[in-house]
Amino acid sequence: MGCVGIPSSKSPTRWGGRWLGYNETLYVPQWIQKSWQKADMHIPDGYLSPTTCAILYGSAAPFWYSSLQRLKKRLTARLVPLLAVMAALSFVIMMFNLPLPGGTTGHAVGVGIATILLGPWASILAISIALGIQAVFFGDGGLTTLGANCFNMAIVGSLVAYAVYRLAAGRAALTSPRRVVAAALAGYVAINASALCAAVEFGIQPMFFKDASGAPLYAPYPLKIAVPAMMIGHLTFAGLAELVLSAGVVAYFQRTNPVLLRQTASANLAAGPGAASGESVWHALRPLWVALALLMVLTPLGILAAGTAWGEWNAGDFATAQGREMMATASQHAAPPAAPPRGLERLSTLWTAPFPQYAPSFVRHPALGYALSAMFGSGAILLVSFAAGSLVRRARGKNHELS
């Protein structure tokens, strides 16, 4: 049980903080350092209330079920050995210590590479099974929080990785460098999306679950602390680890066996200009739709943020005591001016939003209002994008005919 010097990164100790235990030239016994490194994003029992755990199990279950059905149809009997072996692989990959830029090392979940090689559905199941084995047999991650961990890492991670990879790689050839970049991006964004989910899950605990005296019963830090704390560690180390692994393995397979990258490449690769058929676009982007739907459903979380976003006040708020208090709290107790700025006053009557405060007048419940606004807003953006896209395609098509 020797001691290891934790490699000091060039940047100051602010990075990473206590979550990853990196300190400049601090000699820490190995068995201590291991506890810090292994923890990563596996949420242990006790951090999330049983209600939260139940909700997350409930959210994970439809994805598990749907992935299983999909794979059964596509793979039939091959499903069992493939998932078993892939789960074992996922487990072992999570144990790899990866060298990162800056001289440090970290662990990756492998969600980027699993999604790229196997597709999102197999990735969801393989990683979930690996997480289950880690939780039950190796004590990494809790049993009540297994649903949450699977939701964050396996489900959100795989879907986000898939969407980002497909979008970023487009129809580049299997061996093109663009795919390596796309893989890096996919891994990085996916792991940060997972971290964000975990951070939100932590952050809402003290809001809802307190004992009689007001002490938080589970994770004690509110969103405004939990989110930055989680994200800093993941935007740097964990994200980098995932990036390095995804990019490195894709590059390796491009050299040795590009056909393995075919699973998540679209049907027609680098086939020149010409729109992909409507059906394949839909198929390719299906996880994106799912992700979008998820986000829409989760928008009511915005209600939980206390007060209003800084700067999002209207002219009337300067007059009411409540409005002024909101402004003061958001601005570190600096007193707001007595009257609204002239420009604000002039322009504030120019436009009245159809859904002020994200609540159409006929909708009572604010959460429903948020969700509806999200659907309406996203729908409007999508319509406009499709319209613009088809106009562009038509114009291009005309050009081709002419040339």
Partner 1 sequence: MNFLERTLEGFLNAMEHALSAEALAKAPGLLQRIDPRVKVAGILTLIVAAAAAHRLWVIAAVFGIALLLGVASRVSPLLLAKRVWIPVLLFTGVIVLPAPLVVPGRAIARLPGLGWPLSAQGLASAEYLVARVMTAATLSVLMIVSTPWTRVMKALRVLRVPMVVVVILGMAYRYIFLLLESSRDMLESRRSRMVGALKGSDQRRIAAASAGVLIAKTLQLSGDVYSAMLARGFAGEVAMLEDFHAAARDWLALAGFASVAAAAFYFGL
Residue 217 touches partner 1, criterion: CB under 8 A: yes
Query: What span, in angstroms and rounded, lies between the C-alpha atoms of 371 and 98?
Result: 41
152-155 long-range contacts, CB within 8 A, separation 24+: 152/41, 152/43, 152/194, 152/195, 152/197, 152/198, 152/201, 153/41, 153/109, 153/111, 153/127, 153/194, 154/60, 154/111, 154/123, 154/124, 154/125, 154/127, 154/128, 155/60, 155/63, 155/124, 155/128
Q: Pattern 165-204, binding to partner 1, x per CB under 8 A?
A: ----------------------------------------
Q: Are 328 and 308 in contact (CB under 8 A)?
A: no
Residue 333 touches partner 1, criterion: CB under 8 A: no
Q: Which is nearer to partner 1, 91 or 165 (CB)?
A: 91
Element (H, E) at 3: strand 3-5
Query: What span, in angstroms and rounded, lies between the C-alpha atoms of 296 and 213?
Result: 35
| Residue corresponding to tokens 């078993």 | 84
Closest contact distance (angstroms) between CB of 403 and partner 1 is: 43
- Choosing from 168, 225, 363, 375, the residue that interacts with partner 1 (CB under 8 A) is 225
**DSSP E strands, 35-157:** 98-99, 105-106
- Choosing from 45, 69, 388, 397, the residue that interacts with partner 1 (CB under 8 A) is 45
232-291 binders of partner 1 (CB under 8 A): 244-245, 247-249, 251-253, 256-257, 260
Query: What span, in angstroms and rounded, lies between the C-alpha atoms of 119 and 126?
Result: 11
106-125 binders of partner 1 (CB under 8 A): 113, 117
Closest contact distance (angstroms) between CB of 70 and partner 1 is: 14
Closest contact distance (angstroms) between CB of 254 and partner 1 is: 10
71-90 binders of partner 1 (CB under 8 A): 76-89
Positive or negative: CA dihedral 250, 126, 171, 160: negative
Residue 216 touches partner 1, criterion: CB under 8 A: yes
Q: Which is nearer to partner 1, 80 or 275 (CB)?
A: 80
Count of residues of this chain found to bind partner 1 when the rule CB under 8 A is applied: 82
Q: Are 42 and 131 in contact (CB under 8 A)?
A: yes
Q: Pattern 125-164, binding to partner 1, x per CB under 8 A?
A: ----xx-xx-xxxxx--xxx--------------------
9-38 binders of partner 1 (CB under 8 A): 18-19, 30-32, 34-36
Closest contact distance (angstroms) between CB of 265 and partner 1 is: 16
Q: Which is nearer to partner 1, 219 or 227 (CB)?
A: 219
Closest contact distance (angstroms) between CB of 331 and partner 1 is: 20
Residue 62 touches partner 1, criterion: CB under 8 A: no
Closest contact distance (angstroms) between CB of 22 and partner 1 is: 13
Q: Which is nearer to partner 1, 128 or 194 (CB)?
A: 128
Closest contact distance (angstroms) between CB of 138 and partner 1 is: 6
Q: How many CB atoms lie within 10 A of CB 257?
A: 9
Phi-psi region at 370: left, alpha or beta (left = phi > 0; alpha = psi -120 to 50): alpha
Vertex 62: Cα angle to 60 and 64 (nearest 5): 70
> What 3-state class would DSSP assign to 237?
helix
Closest contact distance (angstroms) between CB of 8 and partner 1 is: 13
Which residues touch 233 (CB under 8 Å, ≥6 apart)?
A: 16, 17, 19, 20, 195
Residue 332 touches partner 1, criterion: CB under 8 A: no
